[in-house]
Chains A and B, each alone.
Chain A
Amino acid sequence: MEVIHTDVLVIGGGLAGLRAALAARKRGQKVLILSLVPPKRSHSAAAQGGMQASLGNTAKGAGDNEDVHFEDTVRGSDWGADQEVARMFVHTAPKAVRELAAWGVPWNRVEAGPHEVIIDSQRVTLDEPQAAHGLIAARDFGGTKKWRTCYVSDGTGHAMLYAVSDQTVAENIPVHERMEAVSLIHDGVRCYGAIVRNLANGKLLAYVARATCIATGGFGRIYRATTNAVINEGIGAAIALETGVVPLANMEAVQFHPTAIFPAGILVTEGCRGDGGLLRDVDGHRFMPDYEPEKKELASRDVVSRRMEAHIRSGKGASNRFGEHLWLDITLLGEAHINGKLREVKEICQHFLGIDPARHWIPVRPAQHYSMGGIRTDAHGAAYGLRGLFACGEAACWDLHGFNRLGGNSVAETVVAGMIVGEAIADFCATPEGDMHVSTALVRDCWEHESARFADLAASRGTESASALLQRMQTIMSENVGIVRNGEALGAAVEELKTLLLRSWQIGLRSSSPGANPELTTAWRVQKMLKLALCVAHGALQRTESRGAHFRDDYPRRDDAQWLKRTLAYWRDPEQRVPTLEYEALDVRRMELPPGWRGYGARDAIEHPETARRQTEIEQIRARLADADRNAVQQALMPFRHLLPPHLRGPNARLEETA
């Protein structure tokens, strides 16, 4: 058994993992990163549209600040977000974007003077102030009051990931590529690292660490139609779940993106609509204003996706031989704009559809896109249940996004959370608790247990096929646990997924090639993915309300009285077939922004008994501090700065405020 020791083990080389690793490294920790693929190939590279941060440099961003970003984020989350975390996030996002600028991200910059844009299908001339010339620009995105999404053409994630990855090279942080964490080393109280499989030769190793951070991204591949990369299988979340003591939170909160090209599921960015693109139906009619007169195409993603599916069901879908879809029209943006600011979109349309988006409409249909749920952590990224275990990025439920994430808030979350959680990891390592007394027997037990599992699976003569089970699971999830849900379909999904889980214990392999046999890899993963699918489906079945991306047509109202709480899914007994669900209430009495109408979508929520009281209290505080500045008011409503590391507490400079 080969054992590798380090202070900090970061599992995941996407934006979140790399940024957390850098933070811990800069505090003097010995850090090591594991990744399935070279880090620059992580799915963060695929983020196109941009990163939200309230710099307020542009004409349409004027007046933006942390307060506006905070409200947009909480409304977007349909009040599922942890508001303290949302505050920490909006406060740190401008710092993160400026740090990335210094690290070389070529953010698009403001060009002073008049320029033409398309807003609500009209040509409008905006005049950018001279003082802002050369500062970081921003585009419009769904669910935001201001143009706040900083961008690098439509290759934002690529540019960010390369800059951050290059920083880890500069800091000499080793990345062990083609390595998959297959279980956590723990004793039920503390985590000591992970058992890891080398995907090039199939060998198992033990990585022993004082602190372990899971940053393995989302789990979109449990669905059939998804914008996610093929490596987004959620194994990081699954191995946390399998400890039996770490819960996954809000797994039923799954986001569907309105504009995935049909049928391939490849994303074209929300920036298409942000920059003025329209959604059209079979008749060429622009239908979104009929449903959402205020935000139109730029309501939040859950709302737009739902409206699109409803429009298709009403018989207005266009169709091709693969099925029904709608159209995304960006022809009105013109060739120059598309060539400059939407070039990935252009390439995708050329290569996968054989069309030129400057001249043809793009066939689109909503597809799974983002996992709001994940490993439940506190505001510092410490996982519930195991000391020494942390999580950040899409793999975590830090709970910035609640039941719906705003576009542009995710890549922003990865770097912001990386900055904060990496710091917390270093703090942890500096305390006596961070010292480690791990018994070699425990490490050996974990390694032997995992080795036996792989050996058994490799030798299995079972009759089930891993790829058949995988495909069936993906179909069930897309059909029964998708955009519009109901008790009957969800119940059927849970039953069948339970059967699939049983069947997955009978998987037999057809091949036995030495090294890292890809069939063995799939067989092993599918058992884990089924558990995640069950957390999503079972959580959705039990949640008898509609909130954000979780929509049930048998319970169409948001029910704050019953359901203003976070789902925690545990898998305590390896033999159990469905997760044990527990709930964690959100405290209205401490909210800065108590539940209300989002500004789009339905407005018929069932009120929480505390909401009115908290609202009155807030109004009193605001009245009392009528002359105070916005920071003092905010501080009185819901203090959060103490939760941030000291070097991230300072105020953010803005053009308007410095002028």
Chain B
Amino acid sequence: MISILHRKTGTLPPRRLCIQVLRHNPADPASVPHLQPYEIEEAEGMTLFIALNEIRAAQDPSVQFDFVCRAGICGSCAMLIDGRPGLACRTLTRDLGTTITLAPLPFFELIGDLSVNTGKWMRGTAERLQTWIHDATPVAIDTLETPMDPDLAEAIYELDRCIECGCCIAGCGTAQMREDFVGAIGLNKIARFRLDPRDQRSDDDFYELIGDDDGVFGCMSLLGCHDVCPKQLPLQTQIAYLRRKMAVIGFSS
């Protein structure tokens, strides 16, 4: 966040914000999707987490949204903020205009208003891509751990930092067209386990999982994912690298 963008507060009177929320309650047969505006006064350091909770406490107790850690760590609160996927909890209102439009992440099942079912999708992806260490040897818990190169451990963590918020899927051109596309999140996970020497799977095994148009060959390199990832994961390089590796398997088989 560039500090020049930050509006100077202080002597100026606080801004009146108009927060428009895309409302829809699928549990209510009478509900029709519509933008509902809420007016609030901006406070110093106000985030969308604070603003939405204020709206719920003071104006409309029925608005649905999801926050958990409110610190940008858990990935619950991804939504479209003025059309762009992002984490609401760490978005400061001072970086936005006076009219702010909030909509649920597209692609995922809508629970209500700003709340979507990313959890179900992520579990499905984990099952499909088998996102766990595959190692048949029983875990030895009493002996010294197997050493690992310190740089390698850090490189794995770099890819392990994904918080499954769903922003990359919401920003993805392919996902809008192919319902079964694993997305940047899925490909990043494969890259993570592929890098990990503890996982005994070979490139052939990974090819089975992502070697088609719902996997690494579905990516159109539009880089929507890379630009919106709140953890700034190196998605672009990882997907490109993975595609080269998988293409080799594809040619040889």
B32 contacts chain A at the CB level, 8 A cutoff = no
Tell me the minimal C-beta distance from B102 to chain A in angstroms. Answer: 16
Pick out which of these stretches binds chain A: B12-20, B125-133, B172-180, B236-244. B125-133
Pick from A36-44, A59-67, A391-399, A579-587 the stretch touching chain B.
Answer: A36-44
Cα distance A471–B54 in the bound complex, in angstroms: 12
Shortest CB-to-CB span from B168 to chain A, Å, is: 16
Nearest CB in chain B: distance from A632 CB, A: 19
Cross-interface CB contact of A98 among B44, B132, B141, B198, cutoff 8 Å: B141
B23-46, CB < 8 A from A? 25-28, 44-45
Assess whether B132 is in contact with A653, with CB atoms less than 8 Å apart: no
Chain A residues within an 8 Å CB radius of B196: 104, 106
Asked if A37 and B143 sit within 8 Å, CB to CB, the answer is: no
Given that A101-B145, A167-B132, A354-B3 are known contacts, is A37 also in contact with B119, CB under 8 Å in the complex?
yes
- Chain A interface size band reads 35 or more
Q: Give the interface SS of chain B, mostly helix, strand, loop or mixed.
A: loop
Contact present for B130 and A170 (CB under 8 Å): yes
Q: What is the distance, in angstroms, from B204's C-beta to the closest C-beta of chain A?
A: 20
A519 to B58, CA, bound (A): 11
Contact B76 A37 (CB under 8 A): yes
- Please measure, in the bound complex, the distance between the C-alpha atom of A200 and the C-alpha atom of B26, giving whole angstroms: 10
- Nearest CB to that of B133 among chain A residues? A104
B70, B112, B131, B146: the one within 8 Å of A229 (CB): B70
Query: Which parts of B128-151 form the interface with A (CB within 8 Å)?
Result: 130-133, 135, 139-150
Q: Known A102-B135, A511-B60, A513-B25; judge A653-B143 contact (CB<8 A).
A: yes
When chains A and B are docked, how far (Å) is the Cα of A169 from the Cα of B73? 22
Is A43 a contact of B72 with CB atoms below 8 Å?
no
Nearest-neighbour CB distance to chain B for A35, whole angstroms, equals 9
B68 and A509 within 8 A (CB): no
The yes or no answer to B188 lying at the interface (CB within 8 A) is no
Please, how many residues of chain B have a CB less than 8 angstroms from a CB on the other chain? 69
Residue from B1, B3, B45 whose CB has the most chain A CB atoms within 10 Å? B45
- Contact present for B90 and A352 (CB under 8 Å): yes
- Contacts A40-B164, A135-B145 given; indicate if A166 touches B132 (C-beta within 8 A): yes
A99 to B141, alpha carbons, bound, how many Å?
6
Min Cβ gap B193→A in Å is 8
Which residues of chain A have C-beta atoms less than 8 A from B96's C-beta?
none
Give the interface centre of A162, A167, A651 by most chain B CB atoms within 10 Å.
A162
Scan A138-153; emit 1 where CB is below 8 A from any B CB, else 0. Answer: 0000000000000011
Which of chain A's residues have a CB closer than 8 A to the CB of B44?
A: 321-322
Instruction: Give chain A residues whose Cβ lies under 8 Å from the Cβ of B25.
Output: 513-515
| Contact of B163 with A by CB under 8 A | yes
Q: What's the Cα separation between A307 and B156 when bound, in Å? A: 39
Say whether A169 contacts B126, CB under 8 Å: yes
A634: Cβ under 8 A from any B Cβ: no
Task: State how many angstroms separate the Cβ of B91 from the closest Cβ of chain A.
Answer: 8
- Output the least CB separation between B113 and chain A (Å): 10
With A38-B122, A107-B153, A166-B131: A136-B72 Cβ-Cβ less than 8 Å: no
Q: Tell me which residues across on chain A come within 8 A of B150, comparing CB atoms.
A: 108-111, 134, 137
Task: Kindly report which residue of chain B lies nearest to residue A515, judged by CB atoms.
Answer: B27
Contact A104 B66 (CB under 8 A): no
Cβ-based interface call for B111 (8 A): yes
CA distance A499 to B25 in the complex (A): 36
Most chain A CB within 10 A, of B61, B118, B126, B198, is at: B61
Asked whether any CB of chain A lies closer than 8 Å to the CB of B201, the reply is no
Query: B198 touching A104 by the CB < 8 A rule?
Result: yes
Q: Give per-residue flags for A22-37: 1 if the beta carbon is below 8 A from chain B beta carbons, else 0.
A: 0000000000000001
Residues from chain B with a CB closer than 8 A to the CB of A514 are: 25, 27-28
Any B CB within 8 A of the CB of A266: yes
Partner of A109, one of B69, B75, B90, B149: B149
Task: Check A98–B140 contact: CB distance below 8 A.
Answer: yes
CB pair A518–B119 under 8 Å, yes or no, is: no
The 0/1 profile, CB within 8 Å of B marked 1, for residues 199-230 of chain A is 01110000000000000000000000000011
Residues on B with beta carbons closer than 8 Å to the beta carbon of A102: 133, 135, 139-140, 145-146, 198
With contacts A201-B27, A266-B71 taken as known, whether A518 is within 8 angstroms of B141 at the C-beta atoms is: no
- Report A-chain residues with C-beta under 8 Å of the C-beta of B123: 38, 169, 175
Tell me the nearest residue of chain B to A40, going by C-beta. B164
Contact status B70-A518, CB under 8 Å = no
Q: Say yes or no: A155 contacts B60, CB within 8 Å.
A: no
A94 to chain B, nearest CB (A): 8
Instruction: List the B side residues contacting A344 at CB < 8 Å.
Output: 73
Cα distance, A167 to B139, chains bound together (Å): 13
Q: Which chain B residues lie closer than 8 Å to A96 at the CB level?
A: 141
Q: Specify which chain B residues have a CB less than 8 angstroms from the CB of A97 in the assembled complex.
A: 145
Is residue A288 contacting chain B, with contact meaning CB distance below 8 A? Answer: no
Given contacts A103-B132, A135-B147, A264-B45, are A347 and B72 in contact (CB under 8 A)?
yes
* B67 touches A (CB below 8 Å): yes
Chain B residues with CB under 8 A of A103: 132-133, 139
Return B94 CB to nearest CB of chain A, in Å: 9
CB <8 Å contact, B62 and A37: no
Interface residue B99 (Cβ < 8 Å from any Cβ of A): no
Chain A's closest residue to B198 (CB) is A104
Closest to B134 in A: A170
Distance (whole angstroms) from the CB of A58 to the closest CB of chain B: 12
Interface check B245, CB cutoff 8 A: no
- Say whether A133 faces chain B, with CB atoms less than 8 Å apart: yes
A135 touches which of B70, B126, B144 (Cβ 8 Å): B144
| Complex CA distance for A135 and B146, rounded to whole angstroms | 7
Q: How far is the CB of A219 from chain B (nearest CB, A)?
A: 15
A38 CB to closest chain B CB (Å) equals 3
What B residues does A159 contact at CB under 8 A? 157, 160
A147 to chain B, nearest CB (A): 16
Contact A109 B118 (CB under 8 A): no
Question: Of A110, A177, A519, which contacts B120 at CB under 8 A?
Answer: A177
Residues of chain A from 360 to 409 with CB closer than 8 A to chain B in the complex: none
Contact (Cβ within 8 A) A99 B56 = no
A652, CB-defined interface residue at 8 Å? yes
The answer to whether B142 touches A109, judged by C-beta atoms less than 8 angstroms apart, is no
Q: Complex Cα distance A45/B76, Å?
A: 12
For A152, A175, A351, A654, the residue with the greatest tally of chain B CB atoms inside 10 Å of its CB is A351
Given the complex of chains A and B, what is the CA–CA distance between A653 and B67 in angstroms?
42
- Contact mask B108-120 → A, CB, 8 Å, 1/0? 0001100001111
Residue B208 lies at the interface, judged by CB distance under 8 Å to chain A? no
Q: Are B61 and A136 in contact (CB under 8 A)?
A: no
In the complex, chain A residues 257-301 whose Cβ is within 8 Å of any chain B Cβ: 263-264, 266-267
Within 8 Å of chain A (Cβ to Cβ): is B199?
yes
User: Bound state CA distance, A266 and B199, in angstroms?
Assistant: 35
Residues in A whose Cβ lies below 8 Å from that of B139? 98-99, 102-103
Closest to A511 in B: B62
CB of A348 within 8 Å of the partner chain: yes
Residue in A106, A155, A513 whose beta carbon sits within 8 Å of that of B28 in the complex: A513
Is there an interface contact between B61 and A41, defined as CB atoms closer than 8 Å?
Answer: no
**In the complex, which residue of chain B has the Cβ closest to the Cβ of A92?**
B141
**B157 to A653, Cβ gap below 8 A?**
no
Q: How far is the CA of A471 from the CA of B131 in the complex (A)?
A: 41
B60, closest chain A residue (CB): A511
Q: Which residue of the partner chain B has the closest CB to A509?
A: B61
A15 to chain B, nearest CB (A): 13
Report the bound CA distance from A153 to B111 in whole Å: 35
Q: Which residues of B contact A654 (CB under 8 A)?
A: 144
Interface string of A74-105 (1 = CB under 8 A from B): 00000000000000000000011111011110
Q: Which residues of A contact B130 (CB under 8 A)?
A: 170
11 residue pairs bridging A and B, Cβ less than 8 Å apart: A37-B76, A41-B74, A45-B73, A103-B132, A133-B147, A134-B150, A135-B147, A155-B73, A162-B160, A229-B70, A267-B71
List 16 other contacts, CB 8 Å, given A42-B68, A102-B133, A653-B143.
A37-B68, A38-B118, A41-B119, A43-B74, A102-B140, A106-B154, A134-B147, A137-B150, A158-B161, A159-B160, A169-B127, A177-B120, A263-B45, A266-B71, A510-B61, A515-B28
What 3 A-B pairs come out closest when comparing CB atoms?
A: A134-B147, A38-B119, A515-B27
